[in-house]
Amino acid sequence: MNCAKTLIILSLVSVGLASCRTTEANYRTAYQTTKSAQSVDDEDGLDENTRRLLAANRKDRQSQLIVGNDTIKVTTLFATLEQGPDSMTSMPQYAVVANAFSQVFNAKALCRRLQEAGFTGAYIFRTATPDYYVAAGGCDDIADIPAISEALAKAGNPGSRAGFPAVVKVAGNSRIRKKN
């Protein structure tokens, strides 16, 4: 009796295992699905060639300028003024950025802290990514950047994290104030 039960169980298990076997059609479908997923990244929807071109473009936006005895790393971005002092009609060409955020309320909080710390010209601008950059100050002459950076350092770099403060050059005609 036990022998018959064991044989029946073994035969059912062997039938079950045989039916789980991968067929060539299943394998081909899984392979094609995986290959198509590799060619387009779900996160950004871009193919590998487009991502490579964008990475090269990011490198092109980086430059170094020599001011006196200082070498300043500058990133060029297209930007739109999001919030700034009422007297600001357009963004300065250069900005000393204290930090960048993906959430506007974080940017507004840091901008308010900078203004309370004496950076009355602090403002927020955004890019197409869309990231919100908080500038402690800005100027049209690159020679004035070290003074703003030093003032920010004396204040203890409020709100800054690794990679900041940074210098951003606002590209082209994107310096017009945002219309409300």
Instruction: Identify the weakest region by mean pLDDT among 102-106, 124-128, 162-166.
Output: 162-166
Distances from the Cα of 13 to the Cα of 4, 7, 123, angstroms: 14, 10, 70
Closest by Cα among 152, 166, 84, 167 to 117: 152
Q: What is the pLDDT of residues 115-125, one digit of tens each?
A: 999 999 999 99
pLDDT at residue 21, rounded to an integer: 60
If you average pLDDT over residues 30-49, what whole number do you get? 62
On the question of pLDDT at 52 being above 90, the answer is no
pLDDT at residue 132, rounded to an integer: 92
pTM to 2 decimal places: 0.62
Phi, psi dihedral angles at 137 (to 5 degrees): 180, 170
Q: What is the pLDDT of residues 11-30, one digit of tens each?
A: 766 665 566 566 677 767 77
